[in-house]
Amino acid sequence: MKKSLIFSSLVALFVSVTTIGTFQYFDTDQNKITIQHVDSTPSKNAIFTLENNGNAIPVDFNETAESVLDGVVHIKSSHLYSGNSLDYQSQNIPEPFRDFFGDQFFSPRKQHKRNYNHLKKSPTRVGSGSGVIISKEGYIVTNNHVVAEADDLEVTLHDNRTYKARVIGTDPSTDLALLQIKAKNLPTVPITDSDHVNIGQWVLAVGNPMGLNSTVTAGIVSAKGRNINILKDKYAIENFIQTDAAINPGNSGGALVDLNGGLVGINTAISSPTGVFAGYGFAVPSNIVSKVIKDLMEYGVVQRGVLGVMIRTIDGNFAKEKGIELTRGVYVDSLLENSAARKAGIEVGDIIQLVNNVEIKSSPELQGVIARYRPGEKVKIKIDRNGKEKEISVILNNREGNTTMNDKDTRAVIKVLGVKLETIDSKLAANYELDGGVKVNRIYSGKIQKYTQMREGFIITKVNGKEVKSKDQLLDMLEKKEGGVMLEGIYEEIPGEYFYAFGMS
């Protein structure tokens, strides 16, 4: 009993001494609590990931962010609203045209003359986005939707220098655009091979979301080959890299980079019920970006090869329906009449598995890979035909069904208009009882796209009421023209005459 009491007393004494000692430790130096600060994160070199070559590298966002921030810019786009809209579309000449072009084109209606002096103080819509410097000579890649309809573009670098930018070219099919500023020896973000990007690997999104400049967010690659049907272009190519790195409005055109600081994609879109980040962001793969900017630099337009096939992604249900053993790949549903695929020997029912050794699991992936090549270039396609593998070489066509590439027109007015033109042949002219005309084969970024709803295939027959018979005549008429321009013409398959107006300044 005494031993038990003595033991209990000793335990109580020990606890009391320990408590008093601990209190005195924290109560010294005028009752201030001592907090130890660690100079560096202990786990900095404890977490590793594997690079493409299989070498272990530490997950260190700090060094990657520092290497990339200087190469990502803020883009402010300004668009002047005009109460005098120039894109009236009607088969009959609308009343506003009479005031816009003046009485010299139409019968006098001076009693109804409108006053447009208030347009001198037009309201301005200002947009915000991001861009990536890809050349020390001042070339910047961004999204087409960041610069579309902009009357003024201002680029702010990470060090707060500002420049006016000009548009070199755009590609609505991939939502990409190329700008240039007058600056040299700029920091750049190197472009890496997006085919080697793996699902689950770390990536950083760098941009200017919500007006917050130079913002870095981290995440992983969530998926590849995504098609979210966000691009409205007729020939849209969606083969997005999906990431859970936070992307918000203002991030558009910014960089998605790996831990080595290499550009793997251009941040383009989010999928969200609220309009802000909800866990999913999408970027155009760098291999598509690289092809587009090279074409825009060299030609001013994108030279895009096509297979000429209608395709479907194979899944389990489709495989059962068609009696196919494979559950991955792209099924050839039909072929265009003069398609490159048909000429090379590809048949309906073939399953495309590889293109130049790149695995194809879905339709967006096939579109993305083919989009890297120009008309006239050869690709090797591995197919499965009735359970047997076969490799077929295909020489890609353009959209017209031949291998001709679009020539870069050197006349400045072509770039202002943003179109590809050709004089119609005598047979087509005779069909419509015309002495001549100019067909609009392609519409790119320019005044036609910005101010009108003209569609490709429009045949221009008159300019401001004067007949036009050839491409050169049309360009001569517009080259030194200032003020209002009205293009009159027809479509081959749509009845009636159409009028499109815009201003040349």
Catalytic residue among 171, 175, 244, 409: 175
Which positions ≥6 away from 338 have C-beta within 8 Å? 308, 397, 401
- State the CB neighbour count (10 A cutoff) for residue 245: 23
Which positions ≥6 away from 389 have C-beta within 8 Å? 353, 382, 383
Rounded Cα–Cα distance for residues 430 and 423 (Å):
13
Catalytic residue among 99, 128, 130, 145: 145
Rounded Cα–Cα distance for residues 401 and 392 (Å):
19
- State the CB neighbour count (10 A cutoff) for residue 472: 13
Rounded Cα–Cα distance for residues 327 and 320 (Å):
9
Rounded Cα–Cα distance for residues 155 and 141 (Å):
12
Catalytic, 145? Answer: yes
Q: Hey, which bits of 215-276 come out as E strands?
A: 215-226, 240-243, 255-257, 263-270
Rounded Cα–Cα distance for residues 202 and 245 (Å):
9
Per DSSP, the three-state class of 31 is: helix
Structure tokens at 147: 């610069």
Rounded Cα–Cα distance for residues 116 and 119 (Å):
6
Rounded Cα–Cα distance for residues 88 and 288 (Å):
36
Q: Which amino acid is residue 420, in one-letter code?
A: K
Catalytic residue among 130, 173, 222, 252: 252
Tokens 């690289």, residue? 290
Structure tokens at 279: 């866990």
Which positions ≥6 away from 395 have C-beta within 8 Å? 340, 343, 344, 376, 377, 378, 403
Structure tokens at 344: 């090379």
* Long-range pairs for 216-224: beta carbons < 8 A, 24 or more residues apart: 216/61, 216/65, 216/68, 216/69, 217/245, 217/246, 217/247, 218/61, 218/245, 219/243, 219/244, 219/245, 219/246, 219/281, 220/244, 220/245, 221/197, 222/280, 223/199, 224/197, 224/199, 224/285, 224/365
How many residues does this entry show for the chain? Answer: 505
The gap between the terminal CA atoms of the chain, to the nearest Å, is 109
Catalytic, 175? Answer: yes
The rounded Cα 220 to chain-centroid distance in angstroms is 20
Point out the residues that are catalytic: 145, 175, 252
